[in-house]
Amino acid sequence: MTFRQRSIRTLIVEIILTCFIVLPGSSRLLAASHLLPHVTPMMEKPEFWIKKIHSPSRVLWKPEEIEKINEKASRNQDLYLFSVKDLKDQWTKEEILAFFREDWEGFGSIDQGRYDRYGNPLKESFWIEVKKNLNEESLEEKNRMLSGLVVKRTDIRFFPTREICASNPTNGGFDQFQHSSVSPGSLVGVYHVSKDSLWTYVQTRFVRGWVQRADLAIAYEKSEALAYDEAKERLVVTGNFINIFSDPSFEQIAFSAQMGTSFPLLYLPGREGGTKNSYVIRIPFREADGRLTFHKGYIPRDKDVHSGFLPYTQMNLAREVFKMLHQPYGWGEMSGARDCSRLIMDLFSAFGILMPRNSKFQARMGIDLGQVENRTSKEKERILDQAVPFATLLRLPGHIMLYLGKHRGRHYVIHNIWGIQETGESGPVLKKIGGVVVSDLNLGASGPKGSLLDRITDIRLIGSYP
């Protein structure tokens, strides 16, 4: 597929809002307790919910069905999923400049207040330097696209800078220059290099932006990177995060990998050619000159991994998602954490299901269980009574959740949330949660915008009905 130029303004706005129930800084902050109302310790365990499911081991989608669904999603450009391998080999100067203009229109404007990590306004001189680092003058009339692999988990940025861009002086934890993170082993197409030579402008499967050059290895031949990406026998990370080692004695950590990341599998523990105590995988490596080579990576046999993608069942979904319970919230995966849509993306990656990065587009996947926007809470509850636990996504503007089921008349979800607005004695209060929690859909009912249930706009089944 050829990448079609499209305005990213709408996408950018949606990304800004992702996982904010209200914008931080707009009200007083109040820390949340460990357990939210109407949640007991037992409800924070997957077995509590699995017991409520009839036939939790039933396969919702077979591998061949998932493959067809992934192919269909990749062809749907409205989902902002891209087939990196099918990107054209040459790009004109004007095409790349058009990408830069789209980025600049979204986040390069100085009309609105923007602040650095210390709460100081970003001055015009800062924007001039960022613009200069785009290195537009080095673009030729025709530019060859290179292929590469990410060699460690890395941030992908709107601009080639580590400077934070906040929307208000006290909002340093929410960097508007932060797109997302890219997992080790990810295939990317490389458009361009920054003026300071520290950044590369790349296209990943789900987003375009700048990554640090030191975290990327460039393939001498495109086929090298493609063969790695398309290897059929893969070892899938099924734990929250695990370490990959560069030596069989597990003394040198090569990098850390999150749930859903997969690597070409060379040897299972104890198999001929391998080692007794470890899985042996193929990992990308960046040589001193930036060239891509491959090394062996080692994972202890007792770590949370799976040979091939997990069978897509409610039981497996339950056990996977609860491994992320109480993990911290991280805007755009800042500081190595996750936000609400990345939780969903990583969860479904463990089953081989491609998900868009953004909550708005995730809520276009699967089967629509009925138009719920502007419906009453009772009407939404009747739809939820028929929903499939752990395979149903619930979206409201700027946020997405995974449905757990019903208990004592209440509907519950697990989600990664920064905070919820409630009404206090002296006005709105932002109750900070800041992580992955179980909650019922009545959360936020006392706030000015209503409960989570009131605000749900989409209910989507990722699978088939029992």
The reported pTM is 0.93
Which stretch of 69-83, 241-255, 257-271 has the lowest confidence by average pLDDT?
A: 69-83
Percent of the chain with pLDDT over 90: 77
* Confidence band, pLDDT 50/70/90 cuts, at residue 28: very low
Which one, of 228, 231, 386, 337, lies nearest residue 293 by Cα?
228
Mean pLDDT is highest, among 1-5, 71-75, 401-405, for 401-405
How do the domains of the chain map onto residue ranges?
Answer: 9-67+312-461, 79-227, 234-307
Which pLDDT does position 185 carry in this prediction? 98
* Confidence band, pLDDT 50/70/90 cuts, at residue 67: very high
Tell me the per-residue pLDDT of 295-331, one tens digit each, with 9 for 90 and over.
999 999 999 999 999 999 999 999 999 999 999 999 8
The Cα 8–Cα 13 span in angstroms is: 9
Q: Among 2.60.120, 3.30.70, 2.60.40, 2.30.30, what is the CATH number of 234-307?
A: 2.30.30
* Confidence band, pLDDT 50/70/90 cuts, at residue 5: very low
Q: What mean pLDDT do residues 218-245 have?
A: 97
Q: Which residue has the higher pLDDT, 24 or 137?
A: 137
Tell me the per-residue pLDDT of 146-190, one tens digit each, with 9 for 90 and over.
999 999 999 999 999 999 998 888 865 689 999 999 999 999 999
Tell me the per-residue pLDDT of 198-209, one tens digit each, with 9 for 90 and over.
999 999 999 999
Rounded to the nearest integer, the mean pLDDT of the chain is 90
Given a cut of 70, whether residue 12 has pLDDT beyond it is: no
* Topology of the domain covering 9-67+312-461: endopeptidase fold (from Nostoc punctiforme) (3.90.1720)
Q: What mean pLDDT do residues 432-457 have?
A: 94
